[in-house]
A and B are shown apart, each in its own frame.
Chain A
């Protein structure tokens, strides 16, 4: 039971509208990808969802309760964010210990196992960790705290390929064992494309997509071939973008495809999330 409803959410920083009247729902126990270009409003959204910021307008509800200043609801969410929130000289293992106090379902043993797997030194002070290990430290808390909602803001920042691989595997193992709502905000789309079940895309503070990956990818196709023939084919179709390379052209088309109408010398391929994202979020 951890449904999140974002309702008419707006946030202004001075004259900048970071979020513009955004409304949508997170279904429970699914892995979401929250995608958007830098400055699109992803972190602002996550910060409002965990009441680290106050919205200019609108509300966020978890299981029907407003998150604003609500201990009960806030304790159901763990948000890993880019910023380090452990300012004084607290040590990694002390944070694990205290996390158990604040999140009673926190699994200390599991956190220590993970620390060992990632090679995180638990006697180090949090503020002395490198960017990569700071991410790892926060990932471990997020995976161990067993809150019904986990928000991950750029979780693999500074992680090398091995650690990223380990993280994704642990995330899936963890999720398989204890399904819960997970939101991964990232710009490394290719890496999460197969892991996420749902995708939310934000552009300039506005929601432009909230759908399952499968729907999104089956909603359109890419078609490539000689430019003139492509132009002919895409006439009257909803094209979200084109790539041109010399006389060749690839068009990204939304809509169902009737294969019998495709000329023999044009090639059809499926959309991939990264390409789709780039086409949708290009200015």
Chain B
């Protein structure tokens, strides 16, 4: 799990996205325990309230759930859910930016498609 705090998003959002990434990649498999809020805040040297906020974002989206007195676990079906969500966000986050940048650099639509094909080829 890598969190880059230089990003322009609020830290708690970055934290929850970092955990999401770890779940998608399988680092935190479904139905396994993830580190506690305290462990996370100590590890990344962030305020426990911030860490809790990031965690709660995931709890609210039912990506993880809390077991009383035990800790937090990845929900079953979390990976599928996250992948779906990321796919939706893919257009907003990547395609739009890419097109904007391409326009700035005078790259035509066909050129972009070629580049994408090259990217997949590698």
A269 located at the interface, meaning its Cβ lies under 8 Å from any Cβ of chain B in the complex: yes
B91 located at the interface, meaning its Cβ lies under 8 Å from any Cβ of chain A in the complex: no
Pair A176/B38 contact, Cβ less than 8 Å: yes
- Give the CA-CA distance A122 to B41 in the complex, in Å: 30
Residues of A in contact (CB 8 Å), total: 21
- Chain A-chain B contacts (Cβ-Cβ < 8 Å), number: 47
- Give the CA-CA distance A218 to B11 in the complex, in Å: 12
Pair B42/A31 contact, Cβ less than 8 Å: no
Q: How would residues 244 to 277 of chain A score, 1 for a CB under 8 Å from any chain B CB and 0 otherwise?
A: 0000000000000000000011000110000000
Q: Which residues from A are CB-within-8-Å of B47?
A: 31, 172, 194-197
Q: Who on chain A is nearest to B11 by CB?
A: A194
- Give the CA-CA distance A22 to B27 in the complex, in Å: 50
- Which of B8, B10, B48, B49 has a CB less than 8 Å from the CB of A269? B8
- Give the CA-CA distance A211 to B44 in the complex, in Å: 23
Residues of B within 8 A of A (CB): 5, 8-11, 37-38, 41-50, 100, 104
Q: List 12 other contacts, CB 8 Å, given A30-B49, A269-B8, A270-B9.
A: A168-B45, A172-B38, A172-B45, A172-B47, A172-B48, A173-B38, A173-B42, A194-B45, A195-B45, A217-B10, A264-B100, A265-B104
Residues of A within 8 A of B (CB): 30-31, 165, 168-169, 172-173, 175-177, 194-197, 214, 217-218, 264-265, 269-270
